[in-house]
Amino acid sequence: MAAPYRVALVAFPGIRAFDVSVITEVWGTDRTDRGAPAFDLRRVTADGTTAVPMRGGLALHPDRTLDWLDGADLVLVPGLDDHLTPAPAPVLDALRRAHARGTTVAALCGGAFTLAQAGLLDGRRAITHWRLTDLLRTQHRRVTVVPDALFIEDDNIWTAAGTAAGIDLCLHLVRLAHGAEAAATIARSMVTAPFRTGTQAQFIEHPTPRAARDADALAAVREHALRHLHEPLTVADLAARAGMSPRSFARHFTAATGTTPLRWLLDQRIAAAQKLLERTDLPMPEVARRSGFGSEVTMRQHFASRLATSPRAYRAAFTGGSSPIAR
C-alpha cells in the first residue's frame, strides 16, 4: 500500500477559520472506503504545541512543528482575517525552504499576502480575492497580480481567489496529484462541483432579476450539454435551446460563467475523457467518441494544449499511481 500523501497546513495567529475548514474537509477526512487516496494532514506551527486562536471563538490545535514541512508533499497556507497580518519569521523561512526543495506550495485567498511576505511571489503571477487585488499590487510591487482567475500556478506556487475559489483550488490540487476520479469523489462528499470554469469576474457584480432568469436558462442548457457530450454540440445548438441568438447566448454565457461556451464545452469534454481514462480500459477512439471529441487525434491535440500530456500518458501515469502533471 502506498504511503499517505502528506499535507501540511501552516498555521499562525490571524488565519481564517473558513480556509482551515476547507483544507481539513478536503484532506482531513478519511474517504478511502469510497476509493479516495489516503492523506496525512498535519497542522503545523512554529512550536507545534500552542493553540492558534481564530475568529469566532475557534482555535486550531497543532500537532507538528515546522520541521514537518521537510517531508511534506504539499504545503497549504490559509487566508487571513487581516490581510496585512505579518507572518512569523520562522513560518516565512519554512515556506521558502519548502519551495526551494520543490514542494508544491499553495495559498487560499489572502494567503497570497503571506507568500508575498516570504518573497515567493516576487516576479511571479498570483491571484487573490478581487477586492484585494489592488492592495496586493500596492503592498507587493514585485508581484504580477492577475485580476480575474479563480486560481493560478507559477513555478509550483498556487494562489486562489476568495472563499469558494479556495475549494476549487484544493480539488484541483487533488486532481493533479491523484486524478479526476479522486477529486470527484471528494467533491461529491462535499456536495460541490468537482471543478468550475471561468474567472472570478463573474462574481464581482450582483445580477439583476433579468440576469438571474438568464442564468437559470443557461444552467438548464449546461445540464443538457453534460448529458449529451458525446454529440456534436455547437454554440448554435445550445443557443437555440436557450431561446437566444448565438451572439446573445455567447455574451450571456460568458457573463454568467466567466468563460466562453466553446471553452466551457472543451473543459467538460476533457474532464469526461479523464474519468474514462482513469476508470476504464476502453480503446482511445471510444474514449474520444464518448467524451465528444470525435476522433483520437482531436482528443490528443486538446490534451497536449490543455494538460501538457497525451491521453495514453495520462492513463499510464494514473494506472501507475502517479500524476502526469509535472510538479
- Spatial neighbors of 79 by CB under 8 A, at least 6 apart, are 15, 16, 18, 19, 107, 108, 109, 110, 111, 162, 166
Predicted confidence at residue 297, as pLDDT, reads 94
Q: What is the mean pLDDT of residues 296-315?
A: 89
What Cα–Cα distance (Å) separates residue 62 from each residue in 42, 47, 65?
A: 8, 9, 8
In the predicted structure, residue 172 carries a pLDDT above the cut 60? yes
Q: Which long-range contacts (CB under 8 A, 24 or more apart) does 284-288 make?
A: 284/311, 284/312, 287/311
Mean pLDDT, the chain, integer: 87
Q: What is the mean pLDDT of residues 193-206?
A: 46
Inter-residue contact 168 to 150 (CB < 8 Å): yes
Q: What is the mean pLDDT of residues 91-97?
A: 98
Q: What is the mean pLDDT of residues 165-184?
A: 90
In the predicted structure, residue 175 carries a pLDDT above the cut 80? yes
- The pLDDT tens digits of the residues spanning 237-272 come to 999 988 899 999 988 888 777 788 888 899 889 988
Return d(Cα 62, Cα 10) in angstroms, integer: 9
Predicted confidence at residue 14, as pLDDT, reads 95
Output the CA torsion 29→30→34→39 (10° steps). Answer: 100
User: Where are the domains positioned within the chain?
Assistant: 5-190, 205-258, 263-319
Report residue 117 as a C-alpha cell.
Answer: 511576505
* Overall fold of domain 263-319: Arc Repressor Mutant, subunit A (1.10.10)
Inter-residue contact 318 to 278 (CB < 8 Å): yes
Give the up-direction half-sphere exposure of residue 319: CA atoms within 13 A in the CB hemisphere: 11
Report residue 308 as a C-alpha cell.
Answer: 501538457
Superfamily of 5-190 according to CATH = Class I glutamine amidotransferase (GATase) domain (3.40.50.880)
Q: What is the DSSP letter of 34?
A: G
Predicted confidence at residue 193, as pLDDT, reads 66
Return d(Cα 315, Cα 301) in angstroms, integer: 16
- Spatial neighbors of 290 by CB under 8 A, at least 6 apart, are 229, 230, 272, 276, 282
Supply φ then ψ for residue 47, to 5 degrees: -105, -10
Of 130, 125, 111, 118, give the one whose Cα is nearest residue 22: 111
Q: What is the mean pLDDT of residues 199-223?
A: 54
Output the CA torsion 19→65→173→139 (10° steps). Answer: 60
Predicted confidence at residue 275, as pLDDT, reads 86
In the predicted structure, residue 12 carries a pLDDT above the cut 90? yes
What Cα–Cα distance (Å) separates residue 128 from each residue in 3, 37, 101, 255, 301?
A: 33, 29, 25, 20, 32
